[in-house]
Amino acid sequence: MSPDPILTVRGAVHAYGGKPVLRDVDLTLRPGEIYALLGPNGAGKTTLIRTICGRIRPDGGTVLLNGRDPARVPAARAGLGLVPQEIALYPNLTVAENLQTFAALAGTPRKAVAAAVRRALELTRTVDRAHVPIKQLSGGYQRRANIAAAIVHEPSLLILDEPTVGVDIDAREAVDAVIRGLRDLGVAVLMTTHDLEQAGALADRVGFLREGRMVLEGEPKALVAEAFGAQMEILVHLAAEADPAGEARLAGEGLERTPRSLVWSRLDADGYAAAERLDKRLRAAGLAPNEIRVREPSLANLFTLLAERKQAA
């Protein structure tokens, strides 16, 4: 049997000045689970996080953190660590000095502070930077120090708002490894991210929030399999930017632009065979690709599909 949830949100409803922002949102997190909250800007992700942190009392519904409502019982918030999107540390203090300060603010007994700081440094792999001022650290180390500050009081739920913004690719892996390590210790992790690749690789479950509604929720692999079945994604990397006629031709082949420049994609149940036919036709049309890749669809494809469904609705 799965353990009792750390966090239960039921029927959360909230509006700002009459504008609905959360509409009947349910969310449950259990120990040792990483949950990625996805959705376009303005979907309500940060509002949901504020509600969970007890900073907003929702117009309707309930939030229980370890069985208590954080908006009514401030002590319940001790079970929670928040890593805000902006680095919220004292720039002139070292990592260790910051952690000592945060431990004291969280009410850690003085005798326990040194051990708590040591533990947070180890869990975030920042021991080697303990005595470096925050302002001298790279973006990746600053992010990990920010996580360390959020876990120094040993919360059972860690919330991260966009943890990889301002972090380069290599450092991102280190941030992911820290999040996984905490999960393995039984911490429940709730994160928002724009990085669908990160969400797919890291999250045990994802939820898509759209206009304040949770429109889809589940395990990344299962959601992708359910949406796309045996279809594969074909990625066409063009040698050069297409002119308007070329673009029309690409669209006629069912290809859509991706966020990466020169890369177009489509889904096809015929996978590799379809890619080969497509390659021939594009070459004949003077649109020779540099590279064609065939791969399993990802959360990014699912995200696009959800956005298209929305437009069609």
Residue recorded with tokens 């720039």: 91
Q: Are 80 and 62 in contact (CB under 8 A)?
A: no
Nearer to ligand ADP, 56 or 255 (CB): 56
Type of residue found at 261: S
Instruction: State the minimum distance, in angstroms, from the CB of residue 11 to ligand ADP.
Output: 17
Least distance (Å) from ligand ADP to the CB of residue 43?
4
181 and 187 in contact (C-beta within 8 Å)?
Answer: no
Q: Least CB distance from residue 22 to Mg ion, whole Å?
A: 13
Nearer of residues 45 and 205 to Mg ion, judged by Cβ: 45
* Site for Mg ion contains 8 (CB under 5 A): no
Pick the closer one to Mg ion by CB: 209 or 216: 209
Neighbours of 241 (CB within 10 A): 9
How many residues bind to Mg ion according to rule CB under 5 A? Answer: 2
**DSSP of 178-228:** HHHHHHHTT-EEEEE-S-HHHHHHH-SEEEEEETTEEEEEE-HHHHHHHHH
Q: Looking at beta carbons only, is 43 or 232 nearer to ligand ADP?
A: 43
Q: State in angstroms the smallest separation of the CB of 39 from Mg ion.
A: 9
Binding site for ligand ADP (CB under 6 A): 16, 21, 39, 41-47
Q: How far is the CB of 87 from ligand ADP (least distance, A)?
A: 18
Choice from 46, 138, 156, 304 touching Mg ion (CB under 5 A): 46
Amino acid letter for position 89:
L
Pseudo-torsion of CA 68, 74, 76, 79, nearest 10°? 150
Q: Binding partner of residue 272 among Mg ion, ligand ADP, none, CB under 5 to 8 Å per kind?
A: none
CB of 124 to ligand ADP, least distance (A): 25
Provide the minimum distance between the beta carbon of 58 and ligand ADP in the complex, in angstroms, as a whole number.
12
Residue 228 · residue 301 · CB < 8 Å: yes
User: Do 51 and 206 form a contact (C-beta atoms < 8 A)?
Assistant: no
What the block records as the tokens of 239 is 């040698």
Closer residue to ligand ADP, CB minimum distance, 123 or 209:
209
**Nearer to ligand ADP (CB atom), residue 46 or residue 304:** 46
Identify the CA nearest to 194 among candidates 3, 88, 7, 37. Answer: 37
What is the H or E stretch that residue 259 is in? none
- Of the candidate spans 2-10, 16-24, 45-53, 293-301, the one that interacts with Mg ion by CB under 5 A turns out to be 45-53
Between 159 and 287, name the residue whose CB sits nearer to Mg ion.
Answer: 159
Rounded CA Rg of the chain: 23
Residues of this chain that bind Mg ion (CB under 5 A): 45-46
